[in-house]
Amino acid sequence: MFSVWKAIASGFLFAAIATGLAAAPALAVEESPQATNTIADTLFADVARRAAALAAAPYAPPSTDLPKAFDGLDYDGYRKLRPRPETMVWGKAGNPFAALPLPRGGLYRDPVAIHFVDATGAVERHVSPSFVDFVDFPAANDNTRAKLGASGWRAITKPGQAGAGYEFAVFQGGTYFRAVGEGQVYGVSARALAIGTGSAAGEEFPRFTDFWILEPQTSKTGVKDESLTFIALADSPSAAAAYRFVLRPGRDATIDVAAEIHPRTDIVEAGVAPLSSMYLRGPADPHMKSDARAEVHDSDGLSILSTYGDHIWRPLANPASVQVSAFVGTPAGFGLEQRRREPEAYADSEAKYERRPSIWIEPQGDWGEGEVRLLEIPTANEYADNVAAFWRPAEAWRAGSVQRLGYRLHWMDGPHAAPVARVVSTTIATAPESKRLQRITIDFRGASGFAARDLRPDVWATSGVLSNIHVTSDADALVRLTFDLEPGASPVIELHAALANSTSQQTETWLFRWTPE
């Protein structure tokens, strides 16, 4: 079972492969999806050995030789460094996937080496600047362009197929990546590793230094590989790591991650499967009254499933000061979800928040003891991620150890499956009869027949006074729980609510941290 850590709050294209991973002779393997797995296994083992060697040596920071013509670019300036779609690797129509390198520039200063691996295991490194359209940079000469380099890459499915192909993932900046399912638009982000997130000492951002992207194959029977596999090397002052990613696009895209992490120093504040999102305002936290839109967010809550089957929903907030919450226990899954899917909830036809994906982390194997952490940072705009969620192991990672972890990320159009009624909305407002009284409304939706007559409320708070607890329902399997909170002088109040019948809990457990505006 999960428990809540109550009160942490504070203000606060090609050339030979580079030396280090040998360009070695091609591997003698059959050209098939199974052969791709063999190549990936060999590469992953090689990159893991390289990560171990890096971790045993002092950290070497990345080069900062970004040409002046591309340095200091703002968002619009960087967008003028347009990647040329016709230079996609494996972009021929009929191929299942293609890859398009992305340039350095602006915020993306760190160089990334991108290697492409063919069906024989031969490796080539992308070094050509021809993948960028420099029409808006006429002063940049050939020498300057050659020094630009790549900062990441995009994954495209069904390239060259009109109406079918689309970009479904991007890996760029630190160890950040994003993906979308069919019909979705980018929103919540993931990272390979977080170190010190929410720490008073400051956060460390590991970075990908190399990618080895494996060419998708077609077997001799004509069956195409429906997944895109690549290996990545990451480095930071505290750790070096090898990662294996397997991407599968679709209505709900998935990414399988296998990690071998080699701490260079003792790591007390590791973050596994970290997620980053934006929450500006919503009916649970409507303090941005200058914004006419009722809701502005990439995600509206943290969802957790314990190994005991407990389903937890924690609505997000844009607090007045930094808030850190911890949910202690072993997760069977967790994620940041976007549950409101009605366009009218956001009234923003450009941002399309109703089409932002939910993301669900499904651990593979035993992660051991630890806790899911949630970090909420105050923000005045929607242009920076102010929410982070991740799993933190209970024991520190010691220098010289090896940490092996695996998990699957689901990028979904809605919440993960659950057998209980789930929270569909939370509203918190000042009651008209008192400026201090907070009126809280939680809507649960269940299967057909879900109704208030069979349910009793389980509501409590760590401080303050609760009153006027009512449960009502309508004909659409929606049950509404309302209650009032008189907070008194309490600066932080943890709230709990659920609905149960005579035998068991029938809803998610709703948790919320109330703080004054």
- Residue of higher predicted confidence among 517 and 317: 317
Lowest-pLDDT choice from 351-365, 374-388, 446-460, 498-512: 446-460
The upper half-sphere exposure of residue 72, i.e. CA atoms within 13 Å in the direction of its Cβ, equals 3
DSSP string of 275-314, one letter each residue: EEE-EEEBTTB---TT--SS-EES--EEEEEETT--EEEE
pLDDT at 233: 98
- Residue of higher predicted confidence among 122 and 500: 500
- Residue of higher predicted confidence among 481 and 29: 481
Sorted by sequence, the CB contacts under 8 Å of residue 453 that are 6+ apart come out as 473
Cα first-last separation, the chain? 31
Rg (CA), the chain: 24
Residue 126 predicted with pLDDT over 90: no
Q: What is the pLDDT of residues 350-404, one digit of tens each?
A: 999 999 999 999 999 999 999 999 999 999 999 999 999 999 999 999 999 999 9
The separation between CA 443 and the C-alpha centre of its own chain, rounded to angstroms, equals 26
**What integer best gives the mean pLDDT of the chain?**
89
Residue tagged 């040409």 (tokens): 67
- Rounded CA separation 370/393 (Å): 4
- Residue of higher predicted confidence among 403 and 5: 403
DSSP string of 185-208, one letter each residue: ----EEESEEESTT-TT--B--EE
Going along 387-455, which residue ranges are E strands? 387-393, 403-412, 422-430, 438-445
Residue tagged 């399988």 (tokens): 256
Q: Characterize 458-485 residue by residue with b for buried, 16 or more Cβ atoms within 10 angstroms of its Cβ, and e for exposed.
A: bbebeebebeeeebebeeeebbbbbbbb
What mean pLDDT do residues 96-104 have?
A: 95
pLDDT at 288: 56
- Using alpha carbons only, give the angle 313, 315, 317 rounded to the nearest 5 degrees: 155
Give the model's confidence band at 94: pLDDT under 50 very low, under 70 low, under 90 confident, else very high.
confident
- Residue of higher predicted confidence among 294 and 74: 74
Give the model's confidence band at 462: pLDDT under 50 very low, under 70 low, under 90 confident, else very high.
very high
Give the model's confidence band at 127: pLDDT under 50 very low, under 70 low, under 90 confident, else very high.
confident
- Rounded CA separation 411/413 (Å): 7
What mean pLDDT do residues 472-491 have?
A: 92
Q: What is the pLDDT of residues 210-229, one digit of tens each?
A: 999 999 876 555 556 789 99
pLDDT at 220: 54
Which CA distances in Å does 309 have to 248, 329, 330, 414, 511?
27, 12, 11, 20, 16
Percent of the chain topping pLDDT 90: 76
**Residue 305: left (phi > 0), alpha (psi -120 to 50), or beta?**
beta
Q: Is 381 exposed, middle or buried, given 0-12, 13-18 or 19+ CB atoms closer than 10 A?
A: exposed
